[in-house]
Structure 1
């Protein structure tokens, strides 16, 4: 299903000499630049009564613009009273601390009980925003900070900020193996060639950059701080596996558990019981999409990762770093 929209304006004189796609993006900020470009290429834009399908065409100012476009109707999902841990909220955006186990968006096998359903209950007007304002995602069992747009203008600005790498996201993780130093993984990520639900480093993938530094070393594990430049599906999990430091508990990419030699039963119990990837979105920094104020939030490390860290630290204190 689609809905029709009609936009009519006169090009302001101060936009003299700018390209059509730039002019329309400035005139109609409620819509993303990529969507406006799609409209131009689809012959849905008229300038002075004539179809114009060339995004790079220069305008002089004073032209009449008419856009008659179609927008896909978002599938309607049910609002559900699911508790949210809201870190910040104003009339434009919301920042939440997502728990493990909460799926972000309905999909195959998860028709309800998702973050999207919770957002519709908490803020019914968000139903008018594409994807209920969800700008970026966290995997089901990754915890931590996410920003949500409550209005279309806020979403448009946040999506563009994400694309321009103007939003800073830092994570904490615990991986298998003892790293000697931090570094950067700059490898493209795409669908796995044979396992269609998995991602992988592949030459045909999209650019992906992950920076990481060592926070604490254990006998056979490392606690990391990571920063994303890009936001590919499973990016940290795939990149850490690629350099042979998969995340503890990752059911997809880590393979079988690898406890240190002669680990006591307490540590083995914690490692066996850790059934999700040890990954937490700990810090989020961005310019507010409406006021441009720089805002920053921090989410405490969840209890299961704290207990895992304590168990690994105790094991290291008993045996020493050199005893692998």
Structure 2
């Protein structure tokens, strides 16, 4: 059965020069670019009140977008019995410790088997909440804490708190290279101009701020503690790569293994076999959306990052400071 939808937004300034279908896909990530292209070609998209039927039309920024279209009921969003590590739950929200390899939300190339499908299985009523209560996402291979709203009022308030930067999220990471001290990266981020799956620092992108401090030095690597002010896609990964210190194992942003000089085979193999970005959402702090009580959760660093850290410590103890 078809569902009538009406969507409206404004093209953002940082989208200057983007194709119309690309810009709309960024504004409405719940809908695929191919579906949006079909809507445009069918004359169901208006730009500043004028029907626009060319997906390749280049936008200027500031235009009003109106979409009136039909979508078939999305049978991808089906309940599935997927184990979820729930570390806290009450009537209004729950906090999940996400493992590596689990996608948060269905999308292109991953129609099911996600946290969202698992939430619908455990809490059928959460289907009435936008995005099944998901307030923020973690990348597929990033581990750690994320909050989910169980009711519409809780979801509305948590999203507002996130937008106002009132939710604190801290991460553990292992970066390539020797970082001598902490700092701040305040660089806007947008979709990469040619690589659809990548993000990049771009002066016309959305504001993005990452705080970081050095937690531990190794030869040729640094363990970091990071805090997000904003929540852009791949933000930590992009900002660390921008500093020329990509995260170990990051397949998109240059995290190829770089063993220090004279490293033992066990460390060399440990680095080469670490096939995901070494990034973990370790702490989450927020005010409860109903009671107002400040709440805080911590998730231990997962075993693969702990094991790699121990290898780096052993190497540091054996060879000392020579690579600094």
Question: What's the TM-score bracket when you normalise by the shorter of the two chains?
Answer: 0.7 to 0.9
Cα pair 1:198 1:252 within 8 Å, conserved = yes
Aligned residues: 263
Say which is worse superposed, 229-238 or 120-129, in terms of deviation. Answer: 120-129
CA deviations over 1:137-174 (Å, ceiling 9, x no partner): 00000000000001100000000000000000000000
Kindly indicate whether the alpha-carbon contact (under 8 Å) linking 1:74 and 1:130 is maintained by their aligned counterparts in 2. no
> What is the CA deviation profile of residues 78-128 of structure 1, one whole-angstrom value per residue up to 9, with x for unaligned ones?
111110100100111010000000000111111111000010011110011
Partner secondary structure for residue 297 of structure 1: strand
Residues 1:75 and 2:88 are matched in the alignment: no
CA contact (8 A) 2:247 2:255 kept: no
- Cα RMSD, aligned residues only: 2.2
Judged with a 3 Å threshold, the aligned counterparts in structure 2 of structure 1 residues 108 and 262 are, in CA distance, closer, same or farther, namely: same
Per the alignment, residue 153 of structure 1 pairs with 153
Q: Return the alpha-carbon distance in structure 1 between the equivalents of residues 105 and 214 of structure 2.
A: 32
Secondary structure of 1:314's aligned partner: helix
1: CA distance, partners of 2:72 / 2:134: 16
Paired residue for 2:135?
135
Give the structure with higher Rg (CA): 1
Aligned to 1:251: 251
- Segments of structure 2 that go 5 or more residues without pairing to the other structure are 6-48, 50-68
Query: Where does 1:230-241 land on structure 2 (aligned, <5 Å)?
Result: 230-241=230-241
Structure 1 residues without counterparts, runs of 5 or longer: 5-41, 43-69
Q: Which residue of 2 aligns with 1:192?
A: 192
**Alpha-carbon distance, 1:196 to partner:** 1.5
CA distance in 2: counterparts of 1:204 and 1:75, whole angstroms? 34
Task: State the distance in 1 between where 2:72 and 2:159 align.
Answer: 19
User: Structure 1: which 4+ aligned runs deviate by more than 2 Å?
Assistant: 1-4, 70-76
TM-score using structure 1 length: 0.78
In structure 2, do the counterparts of structure 1 residues 73 and 288 end up closer, same or farther at CA, with 3 Å as the change threshold?
Answer: farther
Contact preservation (8 Å) 1:74, 1:131: no
Give CA deviations for 1:256-280 in whole Å, capped at 9, x if unaligned: 3211011101101110110000000
Q: Which residue of 2 aligns with 1:123?
A: 123
Question: Is contact 1:281–1:299 with CA below 8 Å preserved after alignment?
Answer: yes
Matches within 5 A, 1:1-324: 1-2=2-3, 75-76=74-75, 77-323=77-323
